[in-house]
Amino acid sequence: MTTSVLRKPDTIASDDVSLVERVSRLSRSELTPIAHAIDEGTIYPEQVLRNLGAAGAWSAHADLRDTIAGIAAIGETCGATAFMAWCQNTLVWYIVNSANPALKARFARSASSGALLGGTGLSNPMKSFFGIEQLKLKGRRVEGGYVVRGALPWVSNLGPDHMFGTIFEVEAGETAAGDKVMFLADCADANVTLTPCKPFLAMDGTGTYAVQFRDAFIPDDQVLAAPAMPFVKNIRAGFIMMQNGMALGLIRDCVAIMQGVRPSLEHVNRFLPQQPEDFTTLLAELEAETMELAATPHESSNDYWRRVIDLRLRAGEASVAAANAAMLHCGARGYLRSHRAQRRLREAYFVAIVTPATKQLRKMLADNTREHQGGQSGP
C-alpha cells in the first residue's frame, strides 16, 4: 500500500516512517527480485519473513488495520508472500488473544518479532464447524498436557522449527469427550512429520506441507484455549479479515498492470468491458469496509459477523475479476510465463479457494440466514 509519508530511502527501520511504508519498501526491495522464484517454488523466503518481522509487520495486532495494510503492501509485490504474511499474522493473533499466560510468556515476543515463524491449520476445523467435513485431529488428556494424533493435508509457512495453531477434538471415552482444544503444534517435535505437497498451481514457495501427528505430546503451555469454541468465536473475524489484505494488494497490482499497458494498448483495450477505473473504485470500497470492520475485530453481533463473511466473499470474487481483467488488458504479453499478470491470475484463485472458500462463505451466509430465522449453528 502506498502512503503519503515522506520517503527516506536509507532508513528502512526508522521510527518516523510508518509501519506500512517500511513493509512496502522491504517488499519492493527484497521481494520483487525473488517473486518469480517464490511462485515457482524454488525459494521459501524465510529471511524476508524475518526481516519483515524486524520491521514490525507481525507485531501490529493492537490495531488490525495496520496488520491488514501491511499484508496488502506485501501482496502488491507477491501474493504467495502475502499469504505467508497472513499465516504468520494468524499465529500471532492466536497467541496475543490466548488467555494462557504461560503460552504468551513463551511465544508472544518471538512470534511477533519473526524469530518464530509459522501459521495456522484451521481450514479443517473451520470447515468442520460449518458442517463441511469432520475434525481430523483427535487428542486425549495426560499428565501436563494432551496427546494428539491425526493428519492435516495442507499447512503453510512451515519449516523444521516452525509452529502453527490448530484444533483437536477430545476422543470418545475421555473426560470432556467431544470438546475442542486449540493449541500450538511444534514442527520440531519428533512425533510431528511434515511431508511436502504435490506441486500447486501457485503458492509453491509458501512452505506448505501435509502434517501428521503420531501421538504428539502437547504440553499445557502450548494450549491456546480449552475449550476452543469461545476462543474461535473471538478470533474468527480477525482471522478472516486479515485475508482481505491479500485481496487488496493483489487488486491494487492488477490495476497497475492494466494502467501499465494503457499507453500502448488504449486504442483497443478501451473496448474491454472492465477498465482499471472500475477496479480502483471497487478497491476503495473493499478497503474502506475492511478498515471499518477491522477496527472492532472482537465485535460479537450477528450483523457484524455477516458483514465480515459477505466482505470476504466479495474480496475473493473481486480478486479473480481484477486478475482476469488484467490478463485481458495485457493480451499476449501477460500470457508469457515471465509476466506477472498470469501469476496474479493464479494467485487470485487462491484468495477465492483458501478457507473459507467462496463456496463455504456462500454456505455460511445461507446457513446464517436460515438460523436467524430460528435455530443456531457454527462456532
Residues that bind ligand FAD (CB under 6 A): 87, 119-123, 127, 132-133, 153-156, 200, 203, 208, 353-355, 357, 360
CA-CA distance, 89 to 231, in Å (whole number)?
16
Neighbouring-strand partners of residue 151: 212
Q: Residue 341: which of 352, 326, 322 has the closest Cα?
A: 326
Specify the residue, 31 or 357, whose C-beta has the smaller distance to ligand FAD.
357
Q: Which is nearer to ligand FAD, 17 or 182 (CB)?
A: 182
Quickly tell me which residue has 507481525 as its cell: 58
Dist CA 240 CA 258 (whole Å): 28
CB atoms within 10 A of CB 151: 14
CB nearer to ligand FAD: give 260 or 379.
379
Q: How far is the CB of 269 from ligand FAD (least distance, A)?
A: 32
302-330 vs 229-269: helix axis angle to the nearest 10?
30
The least CB distance from residue 118 to ligand FAD, in Å, is 10
Q: How far is the CB of 194 from ligand FAD (least distance, A)?
A: 12
Quickly list DSSP for 189-217: STTEEEEEPPP-SS-TTS--EEEEEEEEE
- 126/330 with CB nearer ligand FAD: 126
- Can you read off the three cell numbers belonging to residue 320? 479473480
Quote the least distance from Cβ 183 to ligand FAD, whole Å: 14
Kindly tell me which of 122 and 282 has the beta carbon lying closer to ligand FAD: 122
- For ligand FAD, the closer of residues 28 and 36 by Cβ is 36
How many residues are recorded in the chain? Answer: 379
CB of 122 to ligand FAD, least distance (A): 5
Alpha-carbon dihedral sign for residues 358, 359, 362, 363? negative
Cβ 86 to ligand FAD, closest distance in Å? 9
